[in-house]
Amino acid sequence: MIAIDTSSLIAYLSGSAGPDVEATDLALAHRQAVLPPIVLSELLSDPRLPRDAHRLFTGLPVLDLLAGFWERAGLLRAKLLARGRKVALADTLIAQACLDHDTELVTRDGDFQPFVHAAGLRLFSVSRRRFE
């Protein structure tokens, strides 16, 4: 499974180009796409969300929050804040869900880099992955 971030799904739906859009397209086509629950909440927060997009988002599997999720997320964010990094709570929750499931994240948002270095979050790279 490949976790898709809000930024990449929005770029995909808007017809943007980029490696994250290519990865999103491949993950959706091969039924490998999964959403962190926070991403689903972000996507459904748009009051002008088209019905087709709503169906797409709610039809995708969502990563379960595992026991201890909230504590791990809080400790992860505290670790980064202690290092002087500004990390958004939503990004922390997305990163922790992916870490808990050892799932790569497709994103165009550079704000996830601190989680790569501090906690081993894996960001999806189209060039090194093939869908079969």
Domains of the chain in start order, with CATH, are 2-128 (3.40.50.1010)
CB–CB of 6/88 below 8 Å?
no
pLDDT for 126: 52
Mean pLDDT (whole number) for 97-123: 95
Q: How confident is the model at residue 124 (pLDDT cuts 50, 70, 90)?
A: confident
Closest CA to 62 of 43, 42, 40: 40
Mean pLDDT (whole number) for 54-60: 95
**DSSP per residue, 51-89:** HHHHHHHHHS-BPPPPTTHHHHHHHHHHHHHHTT----H
Residue 130 has pLDDT above 50, yes or no: no
pLDDT digits over 17-56, tens only? 999 999 999 999 999 999 999 999 999 999 999 999 999 9
Provide, rounded to the nearest whole percent, the portion of the chain with pLDDT above 70: 94
Mean pLDDT (whole number) for 77-103: 97
Mean pLDDT (whole number) for 122-127: 74
